[in-house]
């Protein structure tokens, strides 16, 4: 059967809905070869993408009767990574912050690169990040929508990355503002400034944004 992706779904989440603990069982299926070649990242899909869901196969293990046996579930861990930077684009190191994911609260501290990392369940959809520091002049309180970033090949994915990186596009509704945002990003990253978000600019966007 095929599953049609809706906004906010990523493959680990989809796999969990169908009882798979390892999304690779789906991603590596031959009938998903075309989708894999198109999207490349299983966790960054686009609404309307169709994912083939194979039948689950029952596992078989030999075990003696009258004894206790321990079985280990083979699951693929999913991690959320965020980088905190100041207004001058410098990493905010050693900064306490609060990450809330589906109602669960975690107190974390950024590393030397301004990064926090948290292993999350593959059913996570929403979160919130709070980072406040009077000394560093930081006051961040933003909602997080897990799995809502579209592929960078799509304009919606380009707009979302540009907006999250601080380049205003009016959500892509203003063509002139979108072009100016692309030009500013290209200028800041040493690319040819033409206002066109082609393959080179897309790759740089993925690199800077992190996905």
Q: Which CATH number fits domain 78-145: 3.30.360.10, 2.170.130.10, 2.60.40.10, 3.30.70.2520?
A: 2.60.40.10
CA distance 25 to 47: 21
CATH architecture of 2-52: Roll (3.10)
Is the confidence at residue 76, as pLDDT, over 70? no
Q: How many residues does the chain have?
A: 211
pLDDT confidence of residue 191? 96
pLDDT confidence of residue 203? 95
* pLDDT tens column, 181-203: 999 999 999 999 999 999 999 99
Segment 63-79 shows an average pLDDT of 68
Is the confidence at residue 71, as pLDDT, over 60? no
Q: Where are the domains of the chain?
A: 2-52, 78-145, 155-209
* pLDDT tens column, 81-106: 998 888 777 888 999 999 999 889 99
Exposed, middle or buried: residue 80 (CB in 10 Å: 0-12, 13-18, 19+)? Answer: middle
CA distance 74 to 15: 14
pLDDT confidence bin for 73, thresholds 50/70/90: low
């Amino acid at each position: 059967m095929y599953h049609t992706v809706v906004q906010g779904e990523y493959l680990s989440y989809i796999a969990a809905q169908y009882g798979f603990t390892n999304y690779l069982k789906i991603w590596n299926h031959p009938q998903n070869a075309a989708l894999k070649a198109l999207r490349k990242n299983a966790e960054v899909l686009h609404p309307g993408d169709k994912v083939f869901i194979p039948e689950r196969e029952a596992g078989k293990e030999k075990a003696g009767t009258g004894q206790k046996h321990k079985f280990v579930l083979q699951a693929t861990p999913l991690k959320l990574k965020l980088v905190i930077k100041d207004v001058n684009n410098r990493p905010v190191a050693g900064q306490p912050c609060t990450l809330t994911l589906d109602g669960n609260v975690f107190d974390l501290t950024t590393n030397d690169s301004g990064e926090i990392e948290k292993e999350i369940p593959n059913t996570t959809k929403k979160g919130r990040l709070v980072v406040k520091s009077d000394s560093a002049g930081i006051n961040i309180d933003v909602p997080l929508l897990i799995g809502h970033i579209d592929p960078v090949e799509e304009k919606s994915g380009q707009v979302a990355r540009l907006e999250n990186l601080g380049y205003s596009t009016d959500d892509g509704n203003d063509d002139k503002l979108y072009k100016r945002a692309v030009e500013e990003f290209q200028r800041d990253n040493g690319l040819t400034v033409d206002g066109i978000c082609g393959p080179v600019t897309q790759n740089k966007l993925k690199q800077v944004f992190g996905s």
